[in-house]
DNA sequence: ACGAAGCCCTGCAAGC
DNA sequence: TGCTTGCAGGGCTTCG
């Protein structure tokens, strides 16, 4: 399940292998992703040069000279560079072939991912234009989210996971950041003071930066491996630990469902 | 306008 | 052992 740190790590791992290179062809084996992959994709991409690979939220943007290939990994998607002679396996839905003999291979068992072609400024695309600030920039700060929360009665965890409020905070890191800042995930967003939002923002940044730093250590494995970072589990304090003891106070962690998402917290440490 | 629920999908784990 | 069932989750979409 790629969260933002994994998307960021993926972009950093892929970019050096495709930036400046020209696409020779594309192969779409299964176009039934979240939205249909354009049938004309090979025609669109052929002989186009990749200018840069960037990220907006969890969307990956391959900037070409004629437009942008917009990619989302959904829940189970991954991309990696493979040699062109490596036979595709199960769920290898799309290949993008490059002039250096390398292939960018898109794999996605659950097919929640997406691959779209966008002409013009990609940031004005319908999928991107309503996105909130990046969590690791100064635009995401206590004042900002406090302002957004002023008239919102939604649980703070829902606010945090709303991509129109801030992008890239998935379920795992929302749980972890709320625990780190001592805020109850079900607390109404408009019932939290500015100072506590300052702490929450710091916690979100810290947990994401830590994960990116750890994900970075697996960078070299991106070529030829499944690129799956092993960073989590040991560093998670609440996610996946419902019913177990709180690492701070040993109270048993409570687990509830919020908007169909697993929500774990300590009733002692989080208010 | 906001908030909550539904839905897409496959793999895995638990239960019978 | 082999089946069935339930759960996991990003985020767009629909409903209230």
Question: For A128-164, what is each residue's pLDDT tens digit?
Answer: 999 999 999 999 999 999 999 998 999 999 999 999 9
pLDDT in tens, A170-192: 898 999 999 999 999 999 999 99
Q: What is the DSSP string of A28-64?
A: ES--BSSSBPPTTHHHHHTTPBEEEEEEETTEEEEEE
**Mean residue pLDDT across chain A:** 89
Residue nearest to nucleotide B2 (CA to C1'): A152
> Does residue A157 carry a catalytic annotation?
no
Asked whether residue A230 carries a pLDDT value surpassing 90, the answer given is no
User: CA of A128 and C1' of B13: distance in angstroms?
Assistant: 36
pLDDT for A100 equals 92
* pLDDT band, very low/low/confident/very high, at A109 (cuts 50, 70, 90): very high
**Interacting residues of A230 by C-beta distance below 8 A, sequence separation 6+:** A218
pLDDT for A211 equals 84
**Residue A109 CB closer than 7 angstroms to strand B?**
yes
> Does residue A109 carry a catalytic annotation?
no
pLDDT for A233 equals 59
What is the pLDDT averaged over residues A83-110?
94
* pLDDT band, very low/low/confident/very high, at A224 (cuts 50, 70, 90): very low
**Interacting residues of A85 by C-beta distance below 8 A, sequence separation 6+:** none
Footprint of strand C on the protein (CB under 7 A): A 1, 3, 34, 57-59, 72, 74-76, 110, 112, 127, 161, 163, 167-168, 170-172, 239, 257, 260-262
**Interacting residues of A129 by C-beta distance below 8 A, sequence separation 6+:** A123
Asked whether residue A60 carries a pLDDT value surpassing 50, the answer given is yes
User: CA of A213 and C1' of C2: distance in angstroms?
Assistant: 44
Q: Which nucleotides of B are covered by protein (CB under 7 A)?
A: 2-11
> Does residue A58 carry a catalytic annotation?
yes
Lookup: nucleotide whose C1' is closest to A173 CA = C9
Active-site position among A55, A58, A196, A237: A58
* pLDDT band, very low/low/confident/very high, at A219 (cuts 50, 70, 90): very low
Strands A23-28 and A68-72: unpaired
**Interacting residues of A170 by C-beta distance below 8 A, sequence separation 6+:** A1, A3, A4, A161
> Does residue A85 carry a catalytic annotation?
no
pLDDT for A232 equals 53
What is the pLDDT averaged over residues A205-230?
59
What is the pLDDT averaged over residues A77-86?
93
């Amino acid at each position: 399940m790629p969260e933002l740190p994994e998307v960021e790590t993926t972009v950093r791992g892929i970019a050096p292998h495709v930036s400046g290179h020209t696409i020779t062809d594309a192969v779409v084996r299964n176009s039934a992703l979240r939205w249909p992959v354009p049938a004309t994709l090979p025609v669109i991409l052929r002989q186009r040069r990749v200018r840069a690979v960037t990220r907006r939220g969890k969307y990956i943007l391959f900037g070409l000279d004629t437009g942008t290939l917009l990619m989302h990994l959904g829940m189970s998607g991954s991309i990696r560079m493979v040699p062109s002679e490596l036979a595709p396996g199960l769920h290898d839905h799309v290949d993008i072939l490059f002039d250096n003999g390398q292939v960018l291979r898109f794999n996605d068992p659950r097919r929640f991912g997406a691959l779209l072609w966008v002409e013009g400024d990609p940031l004005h695309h319908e999928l991107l234009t309503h996105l909130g600030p990046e969590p690791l920039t100064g635009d995401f700060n206590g004042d900002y989210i406090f302002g957004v929360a002023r008239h919102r009665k939604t649980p703070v965890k829902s606010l945090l996971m709303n991509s129109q409020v801030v992008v890239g905070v998935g379920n795992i890191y929302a749980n972890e950041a709320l625990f780190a800042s001592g805020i109850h995930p079900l607390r109404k967003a408009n019932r939290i003071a500015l100072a506590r939002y300052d702490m929450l923002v710091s916690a979100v940044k810290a947990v994401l930066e830590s994960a990116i730093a750890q994900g970075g250590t697996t960078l070299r494995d991106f070529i030829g491996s499944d690129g799956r970072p092993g960073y989590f589990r040991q560093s998670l304090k609440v996610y996946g630990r419902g019913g177990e003891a709180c690492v701070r106070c040993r109270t048993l962690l409570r687990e509830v469902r919020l908007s169909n998402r697993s929500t774990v917290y300590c009733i002692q440490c989080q208010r």
